[in-house]
Amino acid sequence: MSHEYRDRIYIRKDIILKLTEHSELNQTALLSYCGLNLMKHKDILESLEKKGFIKRTEQAWGNKKIIKYAVTQKGREFCKLILEPYEDMFPRKRPIEEQS
């Protein structure tokens, strides 16, 4: 089974769009919906948070905590002004079976 490489810019866009679609997601659901791995992609989430594109909240749940993410207004604007035009100019490669 082959896994296709996805540029980090598209990963950022996928995260922002998924959060926009669902308004808020816990970390597990967000990573699952976006097809990401926490160990491999945690730096992308932290970077988006530091830059103010997404916000992270923690909620106590018994003796554990749930980490949730939501997109900010700055994140929505970044997606609309930068990420969407970027993907229009440089579309992702489609799987070979879709190209014919």
Residue 100, in any domain of the structure: no
State the residue range of the domain holding 19: 8-92
Residue 46, in any domain of the structure: yes
Residue 1, in any domain of the structure: no
Q: How confident is the prediction along the chain (100 residues), in pLDDT tens digits per residue?
A: 344 567 888 899 999 999 999 999 999 999 999 999 999 999 999 999 999 999 999 999 899 999 999 999 999 999 899 988 988 888 887 655 444 4
Helix residue spans in the chain (DSSP H): 8-22, 27-34, 38-50, 73-78, 84-89, 96-99
Which pLDDT score, from 0 to 100, does residue 51 have? 97
Which pLDDT score, from 0 to 100, does residue 1 have? 39
Give the pair of three-digit tokens for residue 4: 């296709």
User: How many structural domains comprise the chain?
Assistant: 1
Which pLDDT score, from 0 to 100, does residue 90 have? 87
Q: What angle do CA 80, 25, 12 make, to 5 degrees?
A: 35
For residue 82, give the CATH number of its domain.
1.10.10.10
**Considering the entire predicted model, what is its pTM?**
0.81
- Provide φ and ψ at 27, rounded to 5°: -55, -45
